[in-house]
Structure 1
Amino acid sequence: MSPTPTGRWIPTATGGELVISRTFRAPIEDVWASVTESDRTARWFGPWKGDARPGGRIRYQMIQEEGAPWSEARIEACEPPRRLVLTDSMAHLELRLSTVDTGTLLELVHHLPGPDGVGAGDYGPGWEFYLDALVASRDDTPMPDFNDYYPSMKPYFEALLE
C-alpha cells in the first residue's frame, strides 16, 4: 500500500508554511517525549546531543539519510509540551502539539521563504516519511520505505503551490 500525502501549504507574509500532521491516541506529554527525548527520537529520526534549551545548539543525526550525517541546529523556542522551534543551515522547523478529542495532534511546520515555496516538492515527501516513521516507532510496526515517498509524492507537493 502506498502512503498518501497529507501536507498543506499555507501562504504567509514572509513566504509559506509546509504543514504535515499526524494524530496520536496518546497524551500530549507522551508524544512530546517521542519528539524531544534523544533515546526516543533515535527510533524514528535519529539521536541528538547538546544544549537543548532556547538559544542552545544541538547536533542531530538523520539515520535514514545516506551516510547518516550529523548536523547542527539551534533551539529557537522550547515550550513543553506544545511547541519546539529549530533552525539549521537548511531549514526553519516548528513542531506544534495540541490536545484533540482523539489524543494529540502533531503538526510539523517547515517555514519556507518566499511565496513560491521552493523546495516543498523535495521536503514534503521526506517529512511525510519521517512522521510515518514516528507512527511506526510508537506503534511498534515496520518502518516505512523512503522509496514509497520520493519521488512519487513530489508532484503532490509541487501542486500545492499552484
Structure 2
Amino acid sequence: MSPVPTGRLFRTDTGADLVLTRTFRAPAEDVWASLTEPERTARWFGPWEGQAAPGRSVKVQLAFEEGAPWMDVRVEACEAPRRLELSSVDESGTWRTELLLSDVDGGTELRFVHHLDGAEGIAEVGPGWEFYLDLLVAAREGRPPVSFDDYYPAQKPYYEGLTAE
C-alpha cells in the first residue's frame, strides 16, 4: 500500500496549522463517537480513562506506539458533536490539536488541525497523523489496521516540501 499524503500547511498569527481531512459516510454523531468513546478510540488510537470535560485531563494510551505508553491529554474545548480541542505535553513539546466535524454531501468531514509554532518536525508529524487518521478510517470500515511503515519515511519528502499558504 502506498497512501497518498493529504496534509496542507496554513500560516497563522502564531505559527502554522497542519490540516488533514477525511470524509465518512456517516452522521456527525457517529463519527464523534469514534473520536470520543474509549472503546471506539481504542480501535484506532488507544483507549482513554478519566472524566473528560473542558479544563480536565484524561489518560490516553498510545496503543499503536512502541511500548503503548500512556500520556495525559487535556480537553481544552468540547462542543459535541462538532469540535474537540485537545492539548498535551511530552518530550517532543506541546501538542495542540482540534478535530472539527461538518456535514458534507450526506456524510461528515473530519478536519484535523495540528496547531504548530513552526514547521519544525513536520516531516515526522505529518506522516504520523496520516497514519492515525487512516487507522480511524480502517477501524470504521472494519478493515485491518494500516502499517506505519507505509507512511514513514515514504511521506517524509512530501511534508518536507510543504510551505504555508
- Give the shorter-chain TM-score range: over 0.9
**Structure-2 separation of matches of 1:78 and 1:41:** 16
Q: Give 2:143's aligned residue.
A: 141
1:132 and 2:134 are equivalent in the alignment: yes
1:71 and 2:65 are equivalent in the alignment: no
Q: Secondary structure at the match of 1:150?
A: coil
Q: Give 2:11's aligned residue.
A: 11
Question: 1:50-65 residue pairs with structure 2 within 5 A?
Answer: 50-65=50-65
* 1:50 shift after superposition: 1.1
- Give 2:88's aligned amino acid: D
* 1:161 shift after superposition: 2.4
**Structure-2 separation of matches of 1:64 and 1:10:** 28
Q: Give 2:152's aligned residue.
A: 150
Q: Give 2:111's aligned residue.
A: 107
**Structure-1 separation of matches of 2:50 and 2:123:** 31
- Give 1:130's aligned amino acid: Y
- Unpaired segments of 5 or more residues in structure 1? none
**Structure-2 separation of matches of 1:92 and 1:21:** 17
RMSD between aligned alpha carbons?
1.0
- Give 2:161's aligned amino acid: A
Deviations 1:12-64 (A, max 9, x none): 01001001110000000000000000000000100001121000101101111
* Contact kept in structure 2, 1:18 and 1:109, CA below 8 Å: yes
- Give 2:107's aligned amino acid: G
Fraction of identical pairs, as percent = 59
Question: 1:11-30 residue pairs with structure 2 within 5 A?
Answer: 11-30=11-30
- Give 1:8's aligned amino acid: R
Q: Secondary structure at the match of 2:126?
A: helix
Q: Give 1:46's aligned residue.
A: 46
- Unpaired segments of 5 or more residues in structure 2? none
Q: TM-score, normalised by structure 1?
A: 0.96
Deviations 1:99-118 (A, max 9, x none): 1114000011110013xx11
**Structure-2 separation of matches of 1:151 and 1:68:** 21
Q: TM-score, normalised by structure 2?
A: 0.94
